[in-house]
Amino acid sequence: MANVTGSKSTLQFIPDWAEFGTASVAELAKGAPRIEEFASEEAEFLDATFLQVIYEMDMFSAADFLPPALAPLRGPSFAMVRAYHFPDTPWGATSIAQVGVLCRYGYRPRIFQRAALTDNPDAVEPLRSGWSIPLKAVDSVRLKRYHDGTHLSVEDGGRNLIQIVTASPILTAGGSMGINSSVNLADTPKGLRLVQVAENFTFKVAEVSTPDIRHFDAEGWGLDGMRMRSRVSAISTIADITLRPIQFVADAEEPSLLTIRPVAES
Which amino acid does the sequence have at 185? L
- Determine, yes or no, domain membership for 224: yes
Distances (CA, A) of 158 to 23, 51, 135, 140, 155: 30, 24, 19, 10, 6
Question: Are 118 and 85 a contacting pair, CB within 8 Å?
Answer: no
State residue 262's pLDDT score: 94
CATH code of the domain covering residue 62: 2.40.400.10
* Domain extent for 73: 36-265
- Determine, yes or no, domain membership for 27: no
State residue 178's pLDDT score: 72
- Determine, yes or no, domain membership for 16: no
Phi, psi torsion values for 131, nearest 5 degrees = -120, 5
Tell me the pLDDT tens digit for each residue of 176-215: 777 899 999 999 988 999 999 999 999 999 999 999 999 9
- Determine, yes or no, domain membership for 111: yes
Q: What is the pTM of this model?
A: 0.92
- Determine, yes or no, domain membership for 101: yes
- Determine, yes or no, domain membership for 97: yes
- Determine, yes or no, domain membership for 160: yes
State residue 74's pLDDT score: 84
- Determine, yes or no, domain membership for 31: no
* β strands within the chain, DSSP E: 43-56, 71-72, 78-86, 94-105, 108-118, 135-137, 140-146, 149-156, 159-171, 182-188, 191-197, 199-216, 230-243, 248-251, 261-262
State residue 191's pLDDT score: 93
Instruction: Work out how many domains the chain is built from and give that number.
Output: 1
Which amino acid does the sequence have at 47? D
- Per run of 10 residues, the mean pLDDT along the chain (length 266 residues) is 44 66 96 93 97 96 97 93 98 98 93 98 97 98 96 98 97 83 95 96 95 98 97 96 96 92 84
State residue 182's pLDDT score: 97
Give Rg (Cα) of the chain: 18
Instruction: Please give the Cα distance from 93 to 58 (Å, whole number).
Output: 36
Instruction: Please give the Cα distance from 252 to 175 (Å, whole number).
Output: 32
State residue 43's pLDDT score: 97
What does the longest C-alpha to C-alpha distance in the chain come to?
66
State residue 6's pLDDT score: 46
State residue 2's pLDDT score: 40
